[in-house]
Every structure is written in structure tokens, then in C-alpha cells.
Amino acid sequence: MDGGDHMTDRLTTTAREHAVDFAQRAAAHDRDRSFPFENFDALHRAGLLNLIVPVERGGLGGGLREIVAVIGAIAGGDASTALVLLMHYLQLAGVLRSERFPAHLREQVLHDSLNGVSLINALRVEPELGTPARGGLPATTAVRSAEGWRITGRKIYSTGSPILRYGLTWGRTDDETPRVGWFLVPMQLPGIRMEETWDHMGMRASGSNDVVFEDVLLPADHAVDLRAPKEWATRDLIITVWNNVAVGALYDGVARAARDWLIGYLHARKPSNLGASLATLPRFQEAVGGIDALLGVSRVLINALADRADRDLASIASTEANLVKYTATNNAIDAVAKALELVGNPGLSRTHPLERHYRDVLCSRVHTPQNDMILQAAGRAALGL
């Protein structure tokens, strides 16, 4: 076992310990749609918010292999916390690695992240536009002024909005020929407000609310990457690969939590007419084996591609990463659905976590790229089109 394996094991153990604590409050946060601020205080104290920051800069120096281990473990305790943490990792990776990101702003984001609970996420989706991955110009507009930029617009599904220090905001300029791109927006600026609109079936504690910008004055140098719209046709490879593999790991972690609960339930449930636990019945043994087959395939795919990405990111095609997400998330849904089918009514009771795991795992279908986009891209690649 090399040093990287030791690091991954150590971080996984730490994340699992925190997940046990997070799980004690997950049902209450889910019910109330309350944001788990205390979880992020704990993650900061453990250094996990700076997992991907290089060691020489004060972080843990982790790569994608460590991300999938930590995210999968945290998701088993509180999927919403894992989702916010994952989005932070992805955007922080872009800040640290993008050659286009201004150096002085990179230092500012890094300083804040190392010295407190300071999270960053992308604010992209809009009511009219929907997901930018399917094309179209954003309605959020940045108007150039003598003082800098004045930004007006509304973003929806803004995951982590109650805690974000920075919002990488997708917008367009007011030029005759608009440019499109990212603006680094400190979320404490005047003119920004959060509307608590998030009331979904799953991931209810993720704080994925609306964020409204009303003539927000932003320094001129905070337009960190503006391009002609056609120049955004190809996404950054690190975001594409890391996103797909880590999203797969997140929902795999949720499914594993459901699987572990199921095993405990089958051992504990002893119907009087049986005189033994449900775990002794071949039908249940076969079903649990089927669940482990699904999750075993996902684990191999996730870990293998994460290891490859850390060694040689350029060797991975986007379609390959897409298919890992497709397989892992669909396996996770199937696994939790099988657990529900086995348990019956108790599995749908809010006194047990299985129904929450099922609601959370269904949210995997909405993450970009969606299943239809993944399969169409894979089909075109296979057909040479």
C-alpha cells in the first residue's frame, strides 16, 4: 500500500466518523428544510473543506480519489451536506487550476477558505434559461460602469446558498455583441438576497434556494472569465471528469447507507410465524446479493476512473466519465428501490431513514449531464458522428 492509499484510508475514516454525527440530525434537517451549518463547522475543523488545496498551501493535497472517498462517506450520513461539499470542491478546483482565473482573486479565495468556513459554488441555472448545458444565453446581465460591473438577475437551484461566501455567477455583458462567462461575486455585497424557495422531494437540507442580484456593484477585475458564447462549447476537462465521477460517488454513498440499514433491519425483524430473522430467508439473501452486485460495479468504476484522473486526466474522454455517472447513479436508484420493495411499508415510514435515502437518490437524475444527454453523446461517439 502506497502513501496515497494510506491518505485515502485516513480521510475515509475521518469522513465516516463525521457522517455518523451528521446522520443523527439529518432527518430533522430534512423535515424542516433547515441548513446544517454545524456540519460545515465540523468539516472545517477537520480540514476537509480544504481537501484539494495543495499541502504546501496549507491544505490536505487530495485529488479525485480522495474526493470520492470523502463524499461517498459523508453522503451516507447526510446527502445534502455531501452535495454542498462536492460543489465547493468542484469550484475550488477550478479556481486553483484554471489559467484564466486572476491570480490575486485566487489568493483571496484560498486565504478565506483556509481561515474559516468559506465555501464557493457556481450560480448558473435561471428560471427562463434552465440549465446552461443545453445552450442559450443567461438573462443575468453585467453592465459596465465607471465603478466596475453592475449585475442584475436571478439564479435558481443555488446549492449551499445560506453558507456561500463566493458565488461564481454565470452572466452576460451588455455589449452589442455580448460576452458570456463568470463573475466572482462575494455573497455579502449589498443588493444580493436569498429567497428560501427550495422545497423539493430530496436533498431538502442543501439550501438550493433562489439568489437575486439587484444592481450589485462588483469590482471590474471580478469578471474572471468572459468569452464569446461559442467559445464555451467545450467544458473544462477537470470539471467534466471530477463532476461526473464525484456525483456518482455521492449517490453511491446514499445507496450504501440504505443497504446498511436494510441489513440491520433484516437481522432485527423476526416475524412470529417464522421464528427467525428475515435475514435467514433465501429470497432476502438473493435480493441483498443483487444490491451488492449493483453497488460493487459502481465502486469499481468510480475508483478506477478516479485513480486514472489523478494519474493522467487528459487520457479520459468526457463520454467515458459521463457513462460512469450514468451507471453509478442508476445503480444507486435501483439498489434503494430494491431495498424498499423488500421492506414494504416500514421502508416508507419517516421513522426510518430508508424513505429519505430514496428521495435523495432520485435527485441524481437532475444533475448535468442528464441521462438523455449522456446516452446521445455516447451513441454519437460510437457511431463516429
- Ranges of residues in the chain with a pLDDT under 70 are 1-4, 130-135
Domains and CATH numbers, the chain: 3-118 (1.10.540.10), 122-232 (2.40.110.10), 237-383 (1.20.140.10)
Tens digit of pLDDT for each residue in 271-291? 988 989 999 999 999 999 999
pLDDT at 92: 96
Mean residue pLDDT of the chain comes to 94
Q: Rounded to the nearest 5°, which phi and psi values hold at 172?
A: -120, 150
b/e map of 14-43 (b: 16 or more CB within 10 Å)? bbbebbeebeebbbebbeebebbeebbebb
**What residues contact 190, with CB distance under 8 A and at least 6 apart?**
216, 217
Residue length of the chain = 385
pLDDT at 4: 63
pTM > 0.85: yes or no: yes
Do residues 101 and 94 touch, judged by C-beta distance below 8 A? Answer: yes
pLDDT at 112: 97
Do residues 165 and 186 touch, judged by C-beta distance below 8 A? Answer: yes
pLDDT at 233: 76
pLDDT at 135: 60
Do residues 254 and 293 touch, judged by C-beta distance below 8 A? Answer: no
